[in-house]
Amino acid sequence: MTGERHILLVEDNADDELLTIRAFRQNRILTEVRVARDGQEALDQLLGGTGGQLPHLVLLDLKLPKVDGFGVLRRIRQAERTRLLPVVILTSSREDEDLRNGYLLGANSYIRKPVDFDQFTAAVRELGLYWLALNEPPPLA
C-alpha cells in the first residue's frame, strides 16, 4: 500500500467514538482515525468513486443508522476495490447470531467491546499491534 495509512472507524455512538480514539492515543497508536457515523457515510468513503486512499483497516460497528454493519460488510466484500480490505467488527453485541453472520459475510475478526475502559484500552492495544504492526495486509486496488 502506498500513501498515508489510516483507520476508518464506523461508529454512530459519539461516546464509543471518543473512547476508541482515546484508547488508540493512550496506546501510542498514532495512525489517523477517520470516522463515519453511519453505514451510508462509510460506503460513500469506501466506494464513492473518488479513487481515494483506502484505509489500512475498517473498524465496523453493527448497529448503525441508514445501512447496518452487515450491509456495509456485504457491500465491501462485493466491490472489487474493497474485497480484500481488512474489516474488524467492533461491537457491543453479545448475540451469537451476529458473530456468525459477521464471519459468514467476510469479517476478518470480531471483537466484543469490553465495558471496562481499562479492558477496552488493552483490547485496542492488541488490535493495533496485530493489525497495524504484525499483519501483512493484502495488496489493494
Q: What is the pLDDT of residues 97-133, one digit of tens each?
A: 999 999 999 999 999 988 888 998 899 889 988 998 8
pLDDT at 2: 41
**Partners of 34 in beta bridges:** 8
Residue 6 backbone dihedrals phi, psi, to 5 degrees: -150, 165
Question: 85, 76 in Cβ contact below 8 A?
Answer: yes
For 19, the enclosing helix (H) or strand (E) is helix 14-26
Give the pLDDT band of residue 52 (cuts 50, 70, 90).
confident
d(CA 127, CA 95): 21
For 91, the enclosing helix (H) or strand (E) is strand 87-91
* The three grid cell numbers given for residue 87, joined into one nine-digit string: 474489516
pLDDT at 117: 87
pLDDT at 1: 37
Question: Minimum mean pLDDT among 1-10, 68-77, 92-101: which range?
Answer: 1-10
pLDDT at 18: 92
Q: Which domains does the chain have, with CATH numbers?
A: 6-131 (3.40.50.2300)
* The three grid cell numbers given for residue 11, joined into one nine-digit string: 461508529
Q: What is the pLDDT of residues 2-51, one digit of tens each?
A: 456 799 999 999 999 999 999 999 888 889 999 999 999 999 999 986 66
How deeply is 93 buried, as exposed, middle or buried, from its count of CB atoms within 10 A (0-12, 13-18, 19+)? Answer: middle
pLDDT at 4: 67
d(CA 129, CA 27): 10
